[in-house]
Amino acid sequence: MNSEPLKSRIAGYAQGALVLLVFAIIALPGLFRNALFTENYDETKYHLPAIQRFAADLPHPNLSTYSSATTPLYHLLFALLMRIGCGLTSLRLINFAISAATVLVVMAYLRSASPDRGSWLPGSTTLLFASSIYVVGPSIRLTTDNLALGAAVAILYVLDRDKVRSEGPFGLTVLLAIIAILTRQLYLWLVPMLGLYALTNDKWDMNRKLIAAGAATLPLLVALPFFILWHGFSNANFAPQHELRDGFVNGKALVLAVCTLGVFTAIFTPAITRVLLPDKRGGLLLVSTLVLAVGLLPTLGAYAGSYRVPMEGGWLRAVAEHTPVVFNIWSLFWILFSIGCAVIAAMAYHAATTRQEVWILVALVLWLVVNSMQGRAMAKYYEPFEIVVIGRLAVSAPSRWTDNIPLWMLAAVFIVVDIFRFWFGTAWASPGLS
């Protein structure tokens, strides 16, 4: 009897248990404390009032205006729970359980992509994800982030598995997309991704492709009544802050997202290099991309001091502010934006030449497009998903134990910040919160 599958399962359970234990140790004390941090403010000002209002108005909630910029599924579900007797602590614990499930989905997705079932790189990546302030915060206060993100990662997990290309799993992805988009409309990028998957599935005939592509539009059709009701993509209370009025792209948001990608590319450099190491043609592409990135950055409006809204830019802006300004742009942004653009080009070249890691590339590009078409450049929109993206690339090749060291070091920094931010509300750990 081959014991390798058993060893693989044991390793997977061990990694999952350890990551969940660390996640719980970080998060649960903050759930029961009253420290001041960003998500505490968001819960008090936006999400809890929306839940309370819906709970009072059920079964006829007013969906035209309410105190959240997001689509209302999360608030309606928690309003139902409140109506049946759940108090604030119970709702927070349910929200934490959703976040823990998201962590496990990320772990399963990364482990399924790894050719080395005994590798700790999927676990280390998930630990980095789970210790991000933008995952921990939404896990201990009522916010919509982790439910939508978990549904999106679960979709990528299903699409990644070539052996499950039947209609059933695809129907599951459509259902998960409905959940994600009705929770946060920024997940509309899932619709074209599922449509592309349906139309390019070489295991389906044309009739099945067209039916599946039609099914892929269901999440958009389900959300469309809200957009008609609001005359836009956010209800009237939030449209001025979140919808673009001039142009189609928020350059500051695009720059911050690409710079954040550059940060995690640097952390995963050894493993990423083995996956995306280019040949001579790929090397020429990377050099050309670096030149284009340097020329593009000044046109996007991400100059020093342009991130004026509190919490815009997050910890990356707080660090960049301490670096020299070169041509009115923080030098750290010059470096990270170039790295981020280079890794996107390398991903595209890798997908085109190997036909591997295609859907994570498609997801990243569509995600960047949609997130660049909204009015706020908030780091919490970018960091968790980008850890998953870079981690997915990194685990796709056999790893060495040394690949884990930079991840462990950054995770340790994250955990220290988490403790001061969520247990004690220390000001330096929550930059921009006034």
Look at residues 19, 15, 225 and name the one whose alpha carbon lies nearest to residue 120.
15
Return the residue matching tokens 């295609």. 358
Is 0.85 surpassed by the pTM of this model?
A: yes
d(CA 315, CA 320): 9
Segment 315-374, tens digit of pLDDT? 898 899 999 999 999 999 999 999 999 999 999 999 998 889 999 999 999 999 999 988
Q: Which two tokens stand for residue 225?
A: 């009544």
How far is CA 97 from each of CA 61, 93, 102, 360, 416, rounded to the nearest angstrom? 26, 6, 9, 26, 23
- Residue 36 pLDDT exceeds 60: yes
Q: Structurally, how many domains does the chain consist of?
A: 2
pLDDT tens-digit map of 131-148: 999 999 999 999 999 999
Query: Do 37 and 168 fall within a single domain?
Result: yes
Work out the percent of the chain whose per-residue pLDDT is above 90. 71
Whether residues 409 and 392 fall in one domain: no
With cut-offs at 50, 70 and 90, classify the pLDDT of residue 1: very low
| pLDDT over threshold 60, residue 4 | no
Please report the pLDDT score of residue 135 as a whole number.
97
Task: Say whether both 219 and 264 belong to one domain.
Answer: no
The Cα angle at residue 425 between residues 420 and 430, in degrees rounded to 5: 80
Residues 172 and 307 in one domain: no
pLDDT at residue number 310? 67
Q: Show the domain range for 411.
A: 1-243+402-434
pLDDT digits (tens, 9 = 90+) for 68-84: 999 999 999 999 999 99
Give the pLDDT band (50/70/90) at residue 309. Answer: confident
* Predicted local confidence at residue 416, as pLDDT: 97
- The token duo for 422 is 């969520």
d(C-alpha 70, C-alpha 227), whole Å: 11
Tokens of 292: 């284009």
One domain, residues 270 and 154:
no
Is the model's pLDDT at 97 over the cut of 70?
A: yes
Same-domain pairing of 217 and 264: no
Q: Residue 432 has what pLDDT?
A: 64
* Residue 433 confidence (pLDDT) above 70: no
Q: State the pLDDT at residue 66.
A: 93
Whether 308 contacts 425, CB under 8 Å? no
Question: How high is the pLDDT of residue 165?
Answer: 66
Question: pLDDT tens for residues 188-219?
Answer: 999 999 999 999 988 888 999 999 999 999 99
Single-letter code of the amino acid located at 182:
L
Judge if 136 and 233 occupy the same domain. Answer: yes
Choose between 175 and 8: higher pLDDT: 175
Q: Write down the pLDDT at residue 388.
A: 98
Structure tokens at 171: 């129907």
Q: Judging by DSSP bridges, how do beta strands 325-326 and 329-330 pair with one another?
A: antiparallel
Question: Nearest to residue 392, comparing CAs of 157, 68, 44, 48?
Answer: 157
Q: What is the mean pLDDT of residues 214-235?
A: 94
Same domain, 112 and 250: no
Name the more confident of 360 and 278.
Answer: 360
Q: Token pair for residue 347?
A: 């991903």
Whether 65 and 211 share a structural domain: yes
For the cut 90, the answer to whether the pLDDT of residue 92 exceeds it is yes
**CB distance 359 to 236 below 8 Å:** no
Q: Tell me, yes or no, whether 267 and 297 share the same domain.
A: yes
CA distance 28 to 418: 11
- Type of residue numbered 50: A
Q: In sequence order, what are the residues at sequence separation of 6 or more whose Cβ sits closer than 8 angstroms to the Cβ of residue 161?
A: 112, 169
Same domain? For 151 and 71 the reply is yes
Mean pLDDT score across all residues of the chain: 91
Are the beta carbons of 67 and 136 closer than 8 angstroms?
no
Q: Are residues 51 and 95 in the same domain?
A: yes
Instruction: Answer with the residue of higher pLDDT: 236 or 216.
Output: 216
Percent of residues, the chain, with pLDDT higher than 70: 96
